[in-house]
Amino acid sequence: MTAAAFPARTGVSGSRQLAGTGALLRFNLRRDRVVVPAWVAVTGLLVLSLPGSLKSVYSTPAERADIARQMLTNSSLRATYGPVFNDSLGGLTAWRIGGYAAILAGIMSLVVVVRHTRDEEESGRQELVSSAMVGRRAPLTAALLTALVANSALALLIAGGMAGQGSAGALALGLGIGGVGMVFATLAAIVAQFTDSGRLAKGLTGGLLGAAFVLRAVGDSTTNDGSSPATWISPIGWLENLRPFAAERWWVLTLFAAATLVQGVVAYELAGRRDVGMSFFAARPGPAQGRLGTAGALAWRLQRGSVLGWGLGFFAAGVAFGGITKGAADLVGDNAKTREVIERMGGQSGIEDAFLATMVGMFGMLAALYAVSSVLRLHSEETGQRAEPILANAVGRLRWAAGHLTIAFVGAVVIMLLSGLGLTLGYGAEPGPILAATLVQLPAIWSLGALAVLLHGISPRLSPASWATAGLALALGWIGPALNLPQAVLNVSPFGHLPKLPGGDMAWGPVIVLTAIAATLVAVGLTALRRRDLTT
Amino acid sequence: MTKAITVSGLHKSFGKTQALAGLDLDVEAGEVHGFLGPNGSGKSTTIRVLLGLLHADSGAAQLLGRDPWTDAVELHRRVAYVPGDVTLWRNLSGGEVIDLYGKLRGGLDKSRRTELIDRFELDPTKKGRTYSKGNRQKVALVAAFASDVDLLILDEPTSGLDPLMEEVFQRCVEEERDRGRTILLSSHILSEVEELCDRVSIIRKGRTVESGSLSDLRHLTRTSVTAELTGAPNGLASIPGVHDLAIQQIQNSQGHRVRLQVEADQLNAVLRSLSESGVRSLTSKPPTLEELFLRHYQETA
């Protein structure tokens, strides 16, 4: 072969690697036309609603300066929300919601990327697509571009909507939140090269996102200017250190760009080196003889990895948050508004208890996500055609469902206890009150899981709505107290009814009522499941 | 003789789509029953009703003398099912799935399991995600054939098997029949149906259009006849029931070659007419299942 012909050929093959990217991008955007715009809108509006709500709670600049000072000096509050760098409405918005909006952007990004890469390969659809005029790296490129479109839209929405508070700060906040999204988009792209299931890729990247939050929280509990190394390791900490609305440090944006670029290149290199549908870890052979003999054992086998992951994550996060609880008592000064906010979140005056109660509440709301995802295994087993052959055996629908539901409802108890154990170890206190507090969350967790049972029982098409209800409960629980929302609105979430423990008074009423509601929803859902046609 | 499956007047709609419109099906105990019909004609829907996975809108269905919806779990102890599209769990090995299904049905013959894995050349240690379509079907087939059941419901079970494995499958079905088990076999592979089935039911648009033994069905349809005559044919075209008549003079002779299709009850008249013209050679073929099939499938309602 002549030397002259060779470069020409590589030139062609280089450009061919991306053949079809445009068509795939349009296809991805079409498939995501409902979920992504909805996610962007909810996340964006959450941010944009903050200045107005903050203004209604802290109406004068003096009050805002006061709250900012309080928050800055209290390490546990810094851990929860990060330090306040500026007491303007824009500055307080970035402080209060920036990190959470970034987490939402991160979840959206990792779901979008895995959905269009590993999920497609896992289902076998990628094979068909790749047999067409589609380059080896086109699917990954199109997935990352889809995430870029989504994050750009979110950044634009925030930058435009917040411009009234100062256009430089608005731009920094928008770009920072979108930047966190892109960092997790490219991280998900790497993880998706190694795992061979989309579920695992999403779970692992989600775990890394949680770790980024915990790192930032631990870092901020020790310093009040975001300068701790732990904060600097976390992309969510970068957003904080970008300091929107507080003399923006624009150079921090290069961290997002660099991380996105480096991770993107790594994902590209990996993607070009492996076969379609394969991961870097070859599947190991399994046993020739099986010991699984019941539908329940099968359910446990399918879900044990997820229970283990949630349990370890809850325990580790519990230890981390327990460790920074001590600082909660450092609160100096006596600002009635601050106390009011903390009391709404924690429910009583002992600040350490209030902080612990807030953490326990957060674990409870996250555990509701576990419960919903675990219940919805019924949904994925049914729509994935794996329930049909099981039910064609001598297994009734109730027994089939019972296996998964036991794991969902008992699993919630286990992971809540693990979070309590972690908090106890980190905090170094008597375990009794904290463990009791974690258990008190269960009726609310169960009722959200039970709602998923009901929706799936009526029709699998309704099942995804249970994510929306769990998400709403999470949003109300986190954002509600700071927005001074009326109790009637907070009570939409089952968590709004629970006694605030540890420290508060135990109230058996709501606990019993919510448990009864959960039991009723499960019973009605299972009855409906027995009566309807199976999805085939 | 007891019936393994009786279905009469079964209706089932999904929204505006009518999947079953008064379907009838009778399967005698101990027979291999072919269940034929074009794609989307309602075969799988019928099977899912028989398995209690779908609830029929109206009509009666009985499986082994019991109600498939209310007695589903009890019945499934005696029934093994192989779906056309076998989906396995990614992380479970084929062997684990075989044993799981066996235990969930209430029994698996260990030595039969080993023998079947050997005959189907299945590697039971591979994980679900690494099996090809044919191998996933083998997992379901081994689980079904090794189970101790009375009725096997097989929904296009061989669509991914190679010809050698297809042969193994046919032997297994014959062995099951010899043990007195009943088999409902939905299939598009007509040679397989001709080879294995005692009786067949053909359905179309959710209705049964034909049911009976293959020879019964053949009787209802046309025989194709090819003959070489020493003279010229006379009056063939006027016999009712003769179709697709083609007459051709043989070069340099008085003889003619005749091809035609004739309905069974007019075969006599045709033979008489042919012999009047002097028959030099004659071949007659019963209709193949393909022809039978095509006639029903293409018929407009």
* CATH at B280: 3.30.70.120
Residues B195 and B240 in one domain: no
The per-residue pLDDT for range B70-128, each reduced to its tens digit, is 999 999 999 999 998 899 998 899 999 999 999 898 788 999 999 999 999 999 999 98
Do residues B164 and B280 share a domain? no
Q: ipTM score here?
A: 0.81
- Cα–Cα separations (whole angstroms), residue B153 to A241, B35, B271: 65, 10, 43
For residue B210, list its beta bridge partners. Answer: B202
Q: Which of B186, B213, B240 finishes a domain?
A: B213
Nearest to A286 among B72, B93, B105 (CB): B93
Structural domain boundaries in chain A: 20-278, 293-536
Distance, in Å, from the CA atom of A506 to the CA atom of A503, rounded to the nearest integer, reads 9
- Cβ contacts (< 8 Å) between A534 and chain B: which residues? 48, 53-54
Is the pLDDT assigned to residue A10 strictly greater than 50?
A: no
Q: Does B134 touch chain A (CB under 8 A)?
A: no
Rounded CA-CA distance A388/B51 in Å is 9
Q: What is the mean pLDDT of residues B19-39?
A: 94
pLDDT per position as a tens digit, B39-54: 889 999 999 999 999 9
At residue A336, the pLDDT reads 63
Residues of A with CB below 8 A from B125's CB? 285-288
**Residue A345's pLDDT is what?**
56
Contact A21/A145 with Cβ under 8 angstroms? yes
Residue pLDDT, tens place only, A95-130 = 988 999 999 999 999 999 999 999 998 888 888 888
Q: Which of B185, B213, B241 is the last residue of a domain?
A: B213
What CA–CA distance (Å, rounded) separates A162 from A182? 21
B144 touches chain A (CB under 8 A): no
Contact B81 A389 (CB under 8 A): yes
β-strands B151-155, B222-229 pairing: unpaired
Name the DSSP class of A285: P
pLDDT, one tens digit per residue, over A381-412 is: 999 889 999 999 999 999 999 999 999 999 99
Single residue among B213, B244, B276 that ends a domain in this structure: B213
What was the pLDDT predicted at A429?
82
Dig out the tokens for B44 from the structure.
């799988």
Which of residues B42 and A324 earns the better pLDDT score? B42
Tell me, yes or no, if B72 comes closer than 8 A to chain A by beta carbon: yes
Question: For the residues A161-171, what does the mean pLDDT come to?
Answer: 95
Q: Phi and psi for A36 in degrees, rounded to 5?
A: -65, -50
Pull the structure tokens for residue B173.
Answer: 């079905």
Report the number of distinct structural domains present in chain B: 2
Residue A333, pLDDT score: 42
Terminal-residue alpha carbon distance, chain A: 56
CB atoms inside a 10 Å sphere around CB A34: 8
Report CA dihedral (A399, A405, A410, A412) to the nearest 10 degrees: 170
Chain B residues touching residue A301 (CB < 8 angstroms): 91-92
Amino acid at A357: A
Interface mutation vs chain B, best among A119, A393, A404, most B CBs within 10 Å: A393
Looking up residue B207, the CATH number of its domain turns out to be 3.40.50.300
Task: Identify which of A302, A386, A390 has the shortest CB distance to residue B104.
Answer: A390
User: Which helix (H) or strand (E) element contains residue B64?
Assistant: none
Query: B53 vs A197: CB contact, 8 Å cut-off?
Result: no
Same domain flag for B206 and B72: yes
Same domain, B16 and B90: yes
The predicted pLDDT at position A483 comes to 66
Helix A198-222 and helix A167-194: axis angle, to 10°?
A: 130
**Contact state of B96 with A287 under an 8 Å Cβ cutoff:** yes
* Angle separating helix axes A431-440 and A351-375, nearest 10 degrees: 40
Which pLDDT score, from 0 to 100, does residue A339 have? Answer: 59
pLDDT, greater one: B63 or B300: B63
For residue A50, give the H/E element and its range. Answer: helix A50-57
Please state, for a pLDDT cut of 90, what percent of chain B lies above it. 57
Distance of CA A390 to the CA centre of its chain: 32
Q: What pLDDT sits at residue A332?
A: 38
Cα–Cα distance measured from residue A255 to residue A237, given in angstroms and rounded to the nearest whole number: 11
If asked whether residues B140 and B238 sit together in one domain, one would say no
> Are the CB atoms for A209 and A184 separated by under 8 Å?
yes
Nearest CB to A286 within list B77, B96, B100: B96
Q: What is the pLDDT of residue A342?
A: 59
- From the list A289, A392, A531, the residue facing B99 with the nearest CB is A289
Contact B199, B34 (CB under 8 A): yes
Q: Which residues contact A247 (CB under 8 A, 6 or more apart)?
A: none
Token pair, residue A131, equals 């047999």
Is the same domain home to B23 and B125?
yes
Between chain A and chain B, the number of residue pairs with CB atoms below 8 A apart is 120
CA distance B69 to A396: 11
Nearest CA in chain A to B117: A288
Q: Are residue B163 and residue B235 in the same domain, yes or no? A: no
Residues in chain B: 301
| Residue A285 to residue B91, Cβ atoms within 8 A | no
What's the average model confidence in pLDDT over B144-162?
A: 93
Model confidence at A348, in pLDDT bands (50, 70, 90)?
A: very low
**Helical (H) or strand (E) element with B257:** strand B256-263
Question: Among A73, A135, A148, A57, which Cα is nearest to A109's?
Answer: A148
Same domain for B105 and B249? no
Distance (Å, rounded) from C-alpha B127 to C-alpha B139? 11
| Largest separation between any pair of C-alpha atoms in chain A | 85
Domain range holding B62? 3-213
Q: State pLDDT tens for residues A40-91.
A: 999 999 899 889 888 888 888 998 898 888 777 777 778 888 889 999 999 9
R_g (Cα) of chain A, nearest Å = 24
| Token output for B246 | 């083609």
**Residue A335 pLDDT > 80, yes or no?**
no
Note the pLDDT of residue A12.
Answer: 44
Partners of A292 on chain B (C-beta within 8 Å) are 92, 96, 99-100, 103
Q: Which of B53, B109, B122, B150 to mutate to test the interface with A (most CBs of A within 10 A)?
A: B53
Mean pLDDT over the full length of chain A: 88
Helices (H), chain B: 43-50, 72-76, 94-105, 110-119, 133-145, 163-178, 190-196, 214-219, 267-276, 289-298
Q: What is the mean pLDDT of residues A496-501?
A: 88
B243-269 residue pLDDT tens: 888 888 888 888 889 998 888 788 888
Mean pLDDT of A504-520: 94
Residue A136 in contact with residue A270, Cβ under 8 Å?
no
